[in-house]
Amino acid sequence: MAENDNQEESSEKAPGGKKKWLIIGAAAILLVVIIIVAVWFLMGTKQASSASDMGAGGGSSEEMTSEPAQVGNALYVGMPRPFVFIVPGDSRDRTVQINVQLMVRGERSEELTKQHIPLIEGTLHEVFSSSTADELRTAEGKQRIRELALKQVRSALESVTGEGLVEKVLFTGLVMQ
């Protein structure tokens, strides 16, 4: 009788143990499949964007003008720090913080822009500091400041690299207190 109980106990444990290992194995296989699909998807996306970059940016450097080329993928270069400055307001001075990203075309323009971030930061700080709280309150004022910033950044980059490089100056955050 005792032997029968032991046999029944061991036979009950075995299927439960096998079931647990089957579930763990299936989960592991599913995880591996998900990882493979994710890697395949990401590699396919990188190869497609690399091919389009190579096809679009195949011109020689002599063909470049001072204006950024309108071909290639748009790339964004973020300024490492937000711009914080004080502007005069109606009744009191206001503190302003602006987060900026620059839109460029092509990897070459992106790399050159990144190399000259200190020059760009200085130029943008001059433009932003010359603004007023009234300008920063209206959409038209913000647009005027963005256009002036773009013009000044292109001019500064042209004096150093011979190319404007930047296509747009984008405000990704603006806070005024």
Tell if the pTM clears 0.75, that is, is over it: no
SS (H, E, C) the chain: CHHHHHHHHHHHHHHHHHHHHHHHHHHHHHHHHHHHHHHHHHHHHHHHHHHHHHHHCCCCHHHCCCCCCCCCCEEEEECCCCEEEEECCCCCCEEEEEEEEEEEECHHHHHHHHHCHHHHHHHHHHHHHCCCHHHHHCHHHHHHHHHHHHHHHHHHHHHHHCCCCEEEEEEEEEEEC
CATH architecture of the domain 62-176 equals: 2-Layer Sandwich (3.30)
Reported as a single tens digit per residue, the pLDDT across 81-91 is: 999 998 888 88
Domain coordinates in residue numbering, the chain: 1-56, 62-176
Residues of the chain with pLDDT under 70: 1-16, 41, 44-72
| Per-residue confidence (pLDDT) for residue 44, from 0 to 100 | 62
